[in-house]
Amino acid sequence: GDGSFAGQGVVYETLHLSALPNYTTGGTIHIVLNNQVAFTTDPTCGRSSQYCTDVAKALDAPIFHVNGDDVEAVVHACELAAEWRQTFHSDVVVDLVCYRRFGHNEIDEPSFTQPKMYKVIRNHPSTLEIYQKKLLETGELTQGDIDKIHTKVTSILNEEFQASKDYIPKRRDWLSAYWLGFKSPEQLSRVRNTGVKPEILKTVGKAITTIPENFTPHKAVKRIYEQRAQMIETGEDIDWGFGEALAFATLLVEGNHVRLSGQDVERGTFSHRHSVVHDQTTGEKYCPLDHVIMNQNEEMFTVSNSSLSEFAVLGFELGYSMENPNSLIIWEAQFGDFANGAHVIFDNFLASGESKWLRQTGLVVLLPHGYDGQGPEHSSARLERFLQMADDNPYIIPEMDPTLRKQIQECNLQIVNVTTPANFFHVLRRQIHREFRKPLIVMSPKN
C-alpha cells in the first residue's frame, strides 16, 4: 500500500538489496496499491515526499503512475514493467492509483475520518461499471455478452463457495517437489547420524586449509590457516571457526548447498572465520570452501557480507531457506543484540510460520552472545525472548524417547547454547540430515 511503501523502513532496506551480487533477483516488479489513504491517515501525515513511491528513486528505478480505474492502462503499465525487468534485469515500480470503496476492512467506517473523500467515492462508479460502459460505447461487447460473463463468473464463485464448506487443507498441496518426503509435526522423524568418517574429515580439512602458493594472505591469517592445518593433522584443539568450516565442507561433499549471510560474515565480526582471504599485494580474494571438491560449482558455497540491515536481509534468507530444504541457510548477526532490528521476522514468520501457513524452514540464526563483548547493546542476544517463543511449555525438556522426541518437531524454534566446536559441527549437520525442518537459534561465542 501507499502508506507502508513510503513509511516502512524494510521497503528501503529491501530496495537496496536489489543490485547486491548475492541478493539480486534479476529485477523485481513492485506493485503499489495506492489507496490515497493509510487506514485513517492522509498522505500529508504519512509521508514527506510528493509520491508514495519516491523512495524507489534512490535506485533510479522507473516508476509508472497509472489510474486504477483505467483497466487497459493498468495492463499496459504492467506489461511495460515486465518488459523493463526482462530487458534490464533491474527493479521497476507500478503505482496503481486507486481507492478503497468500503474502507480499511469489513468493520471500518471510513467516513469517520475522511468524510469528503468518501462522499465522492460513494457517488463514483466502480471500475467494473466504468469498463463495461466503455466496451458498450465502443461496440466491443453487447449487453447480452456482458450478462453472460456476469452469469458465468457468479456461477464459478458460488460453486467455489459451496465447495469451501467441505474443504480440508492439505499440507502437501503447498509444498514444492523439493519438500516431498519431509515429515510434518504429526509424523515421527527418525534420529539421524551426523558423524563423518575421519578420513573424509582429513581430506576436506586439507582442502579448506590450503591457500595457493602465489597468494599472499595477511600474516595473521596465514598463521590461522597453518594452525588449522595442524588441527586436522592431529585432531586436537579444533576451534569454533574451524569446526564450522568442517561442517560446511562435509555438507558440500554430500552435495548440499551452503549459504552464509550477514554483516561482516566473510571475516567474522570477531575475526574467527576468515572464509574469504584477501591477497595483501593484489587485493584478490580466495575462498577455500569453493575448492572442497574437484570442479566444484562456486554457487554450492556462498558467503556474503550483507548490507547494514537486519530486517530485510534476514527476511531474504528466510525466503531463500523455504525454496529448497536441502540447503543450509545461515544468517549471522554482527552482535546478537542486533537481532532486535529484525524481530518482525522472528515473531511473524520464524516462530509462527509453520503454525499459520503450514510451511517449514530450516533457517539457522547465529547470535554472538556473552559479556566478552563491547558493553551495552553488544553483550546479550536476549536468550529469554527466544525461549518465550520456543514452545507452549518451555520447562519440559524432551529426551530421546519417541513420545518426548516428537516435542522437538512440534515446537516453534530450536534454541541451542553449544559449548564446544564438536557440538556446533553436529548441530549444523543435523539441520540438513533431519527428516523435518525447524528454525535453529544459536547463542554463539565471541572468542
- Residue 258 maps to a domain: yes
72-83 pLDDT per residue, tens:
999 999 999 999
Domain identity same for 221 and 304: yes
pLDDT value at residue 173: 61
**Cα(342)–Cα(375) distance, rounded to whole angstroms?**
21
Domain identity same for 430 and 303: yes
DSSP per residue, 276-336: SEE-TTT--EE-GGGGSSTT--GGGEEEEE--S-SHHHHHHHHHHHHH-TTEEEEEE-SSG
- Residue 180 maps to a domain: no
| Greater model confidence, 400 or 358 | 358
Q: Give residue 181's pLDDT band: very low, low, confident or very high (50, 70, 90).
A: confident
258-288 pLDDT per residue, tens:
999 999 999 999 999 999 999 999 999 999 9
Q: At residue 398, does pLDDT exceed 90?
A: no
> Under DSSP, is residue 383 helix (H, G, I), strand (E, B) or coil?
helix
**Cα(244)–Cα(275) distance, rounded to whole angstroms?**
10
- Residue 163 maps to a domain: no
pLDDT value at residue 393: 66
Number of domains in the chain: 2
pLDDT value at residue 170: 72
pLDDT value at residue 373: 66
Domain identity same for 99 and 237: no
- Residue 176 maps to a domain: no
- Residue 215 maps to a domain: yes
Domain identity same for 95 and 212: no
Average pLDDT, the chain: 93
- Residue 32 maps to a domain: yes
Choice among 102-116, 170-184, 185-199, 216-230 with the minimum mean pLDDT: 170-184
Q: At residue 392, does pLDDT exceed 80?
A: no
Q: How many residues does the chain have?
A: 447
Alpha carbon distance, N-terminus to C-terminus of the chain: 45
Domain identity same for 211 and 335: yes
Domain identity same for 254 and 356: yes
Domain identity same for 99 and 248: no
Q: At residue 157, does pLDDT exceed 90?
A: yes
Task: Say whether pTM exceeds 0.85.
Answer: yes
Domain identity same for 300 and 413: yes
Give the rounded percent of residues in the chain with a pLDDT score beyond 90.
82
Q: Give residue 146's pLDDT band: very low, low, confident or very high (50, 70, 90).
A: very high
**Cα(289)–Cα(221) distance, rounded to whole angstroms?**
15
Q: At residue 180, does pLDDT exceed 70?
A: yes
Q: At residue 302, does pLDDT exceed 90?
A: yes
- Residue 169 maps to a domain: no
Contact between residue 440 and residue 364 where contact means Cβ atoms under 8 Å apart: yes
Domain boundary among 104, 124, 144: 124
What's the rounded mean pLDDT across residues 416-436? 95
Give the rounded percent of residues in the chain with a pLDDT score beyond 70.
95
Contact between residue 438 and residue 411 where contact means Cβ atoms under 8 Å apart: yes
pLDDT value at residue 57: 96
- Residue 84 maps to a domain: yes
Domain identity same for 372 and 285: yes
Domain boundary among 124, 158, 188: 124
Please report, for the domain that includes residue 431, its CATH number. 3.40.50.12470
Domain boundary among 95, 124, 153: 124
Contact between residue 74 and residue 34 where contact means Cβ atoms under 8 Å apart: no
Domain that holds residue 379: 198-444
Q: At residue 118, does pLDDT exceed 90?
A: yes
